[in-house]
């Protein structure tokens, strides 16, 4: 029961009119009316006077309001606690899901890399440390492009040769047999020496050119 209703009930039980109660409290009848309508409330001194008039304690005078307030506060606290628990549960589930996705991605990446990237540590170092050289040579109106790839120790990893014009070199021309070499620098020197000694030219570069 709200304070206004409580006051109205006590006043009527005591057989007092609003005017009579206002005289006892030294306030206007409108003040009593405002209290009973719940528009205003008495201060602590006035509340003590009301309690004395009706011979009840302040706790009894405000008992219902206090109870309602406490019940409402407890209810709101329980609701807030329940909401916080739900949020924490959702966050926990979300973290677990994200962690699981990351773990699956790591496992998947590891499996894929183990199948497609069959490299040992030494091979990876070798891959990073590779170098290459182009040789652009000319002889008897035919142009030759050599490509030689090698590691940091000058070991040949791959090589190739292409010709300008026809798919075959000049007839009866004896070119350097690259398969006979394992050292890149020795092969480069042999190719350059061969063309220069036969009246041709040879340019050594890192740049890819097109005749």
Query: Does any domain span residue 167?
Result: yes
Q: With H, G, I as helix, E, B as strand and everything else as coil, classify residue 75.
A: helix
> Could you list the residue range(s) of the whole structural domain that residue 176 is in?
129-205
Query: Does any domain span residue 89?
Result: no
Residue 140: burial class (beta carbons within 10 Å; 0-12, 13-18, 19+): exposed
**Two tokens, residue 11:** 């006043």
Number of domains in the chain: 2
Query: Does any domain span residue 44?
Result: yes
pLDDT (0 to 100) of residue 111: 81
pTM summary value? 0.38
Candidates 22, 54, 14; CA nearest to 62 is 54
Of the residues 11, 42, 61, the one at which a domain ends:
61
Of the residues 61, 76, 100, the one at which a domain ends:
61
Confidence label for 126 from pLDDT (cuts 50, 70 and 90): very low
Helix segments in the chain, DSSP class H: 3-13, 18-25, 29-36, 44-53, 58-61, 63-116, 121-128, 184-197
- pLDDT tens profile 58-115: 888 876 554 554 555 567 788 888 899 999 999 999 999 999 999 999 998 888 766 6
CB 55 within 8 A of CB 24: no
Residues facing 160 on adjacent strands: 147
Query: Does any domain span residue 114?
Result: no
Using CA atoms, how far apart are residues 160 and 79, in angstroms rounded to an integer? 78
Residue 98: burial class (beta carbons within 10 Å; 0-12, 13-18, 19+): exposed
Q: What are phi and psi of 68, to 5 degrees?
A: -60, -40
Query: Does any domain span residue 53?
Result: yes
Candidates 131, 130, 154, 133; CA nearest to 145 is 133
pLDDT (0 to 100) of residue 174: 64
């Amino acid at each position: 029961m709200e304070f206004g209703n409580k006051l109205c009930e006590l006043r009527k039980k005591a057989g007092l009119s609003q005017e009579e109660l206002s005289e006892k409290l030294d306030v206007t009848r409108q003040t009593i009316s405002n209290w009973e309508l719940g528009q205003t409330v008495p201060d602590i001194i006035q509340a003590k006077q009301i309690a004395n008039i009706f011979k009840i304690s302040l706790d009894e005078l405000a008992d219902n309001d206090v109870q309602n307030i406490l019940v409402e506060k407890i209810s709101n606290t329980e609701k807030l606690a329940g909401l916080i628990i739900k949020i924490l549960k959702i966050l926990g589930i979300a973290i677990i899901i994200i962690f699981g996705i990351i773990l699956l991605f790591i496992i998947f990446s590891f499996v894929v890399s183990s199948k497609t990237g069959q490299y040992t540590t030494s091979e990876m170092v070798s891959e990073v440390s590779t170098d290459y050289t182009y040789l652009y040579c000319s002889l008897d109106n035919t142009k030759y492009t050599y490509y030689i790839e090698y590691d940091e120790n000058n070991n040949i990893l791959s090589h190739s040769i292409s010709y300008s014009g026809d798919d075959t070199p000049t007839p009866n021309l004896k070119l350097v047999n690259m398969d006979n070499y394992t050292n890149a620098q020795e092969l480069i020197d042999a190719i350059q020496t061969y063309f220069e000694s036969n009246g041709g030219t040879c340019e050594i570069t890192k740049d890819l050119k097109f005749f």
